[in-house]
Amino acid sequence: MARRTHSKITSILPAELVEAINQRLVNGETYEQIAVYVRGEGHEISKSSVGRYGKTFLTKLERLKIVREQAKTIVTESKDGPSLEMTEAATQLALQLIMEKLVLTENLDDTKTGEILKALALLERSAVQREKLKLEAKRKADEAMRNIESKTAGKKNLDPETLSYIKEQIYGITT
C-alpha cells in the first residue's frame, strides 16, 4: 500500500482553516478537539487525518526550532563580523531546510529537483564569496599591521601595550 505524500488537510481545506489547525496544534489541543472544530466549520475530517497531519506538522515545527537554535549558536559563536555571522546563519538554515526537503519529499519531479539543485548552487556560491571576503579582510588586516609595525619600528613613542591594542582592534582578538 503506497503512502499518501500529501495531507487531506492541506489538499481539501482552505488556507485559513489550515492555519487555524496549525495554531491549535501549537497550542496543544488534542486531535479530537481539532477534528470537532473542523467539522464545526463545515468540513468532514477524521481524528486520524488530523493526527497524521499533526504528527508531520509538529515534527517539522520541532526541526525548525532546532535549526533556529543552531543559527543563533552560529551567530553567537562566530568570530567574524556581524553581517557575515547573519549570512552564514541564514545559509546554514537554508541548507538545513533544503536537505530536509530532499529527505522528506518523495517523488520529486524534474522541475522541483532542478529548483533544489539551483538553490544549493546559490548557497555554495554564496559560501565561496564569503570565504573570499574573509581572506581579503585578513590580507588587508595583515598589511595594515605590517605597515604599522614597520613605521613604528625603533621608535619609542609606541610601547608594546599600545601595539597590542592596535592588533586587537585590527584583528578583533586579544594578543
Write the pLDDT tens digit of every residue in 59-68: 888 887 787 7
Residue type at position 73: T
pTM above 0.95, yes or no: no
Q: Which 8-state DSSP code applies to residue 154?
A: T
- d(C-alpha 138, C-alpha 120), whole Å: 27
- Tally the residues of the chain: 175
Is the pLDDT at 1 greater than 60, yes or no?
Answer: no
Write the pLDDT tens digit of every residue in 62-111: 887 787 777 667 666 655 555 566 666 677 777 777 766 665 555 566 67
Is the pLDDT at 15 greater than 50, yes or no?
Answer: yes
- Provide the pLDDT confidence category of residue 168 given band limits of 50, 70 and 90: confident
